[in-house]
Amino acid sequence: MSQQGVHAGPTRQRLVEVAVELFTRHSVEGTSLQMISDELGLTKSAIYHHFRTREELLGAVIEPLMVEVTGLVDAAEARRGARARADHLIVGFATLAASNRQLVPLLSGDPGVLELLRMRSEWAAVVRRQMSLLADVEPGLGGQVKAVMVMSGLASAVGADYGDVDDDELRGQLIAAGRRLLGLRSPRDGS
């Protein structure tokens, strides 16, 4: 951490950024507020000024993405037909994931995040709606399994190191993989 960052003041946004870095490196459970304060060169009381608990900080990390996911789900639900709804969701989530490569993998794999998603009923409802949109392509257990594979696969795949692959190229590959998993065809316009 540079001295300039410390002297610029402990802003809420900087706390969130450092939390994401440490959550990614050590998991949510493996990251304490003390570790975050040490990384920033601050006292824990300076952290408590913005966030009383690690879970509150985690909520601040996740909330912007959940707002975007909620918008994606709402828009997908407005489409006609299960395949069109699922495709809209895959394209939107792949776009979101490709532009949030560090944060999205954290959402699907960290037990602390999964627990927070369960505790926040409105977020849990969005996740259920999201999974239902994908599972509806193939009713029954097979569709549910494919829905989980698509969402966890996209979230995990975006976190891999692909060198200098840009967001658009990664987005295209994520969309193609998600469509293949659900047996969806690519639209003629190539999106």
Chain segment 59-99, per-residue pLDDT in tens: 888 899 999 999 999 999 999 999 999 999 999 999 999 99
Q: What proportion of the chain, given as a percentage, has pLDDT over 70?
A: 93
Residues 47, 42: Cα–Cα separation, whole Å? 8
Q: Tell me, which fold does domain 10-182 have in CATH?
A: Tetracycline Repressor; domain 2 (1.10.357)
pLDDT of the residue at 188? 66
Closest CA to 58 of 120, 11, 126: 120
Which tens digit of pLDDT belongs to each residue from 104-118? 887 777 788 888 888
Domain definitions of the chain by residue range: 10-182
Mean pLDDT of the chain: 87
Q: What proportion of the chain, given as a percentage, has pLDDT over 90?
A: 47
Beta strands in the chain (DSSP E): none
pLDDT of the residue at 6? 40
Which tens digit of pLDDT belongs to each residue from 134-166? 999 999 999 999 999 999 999 999 988 899 999
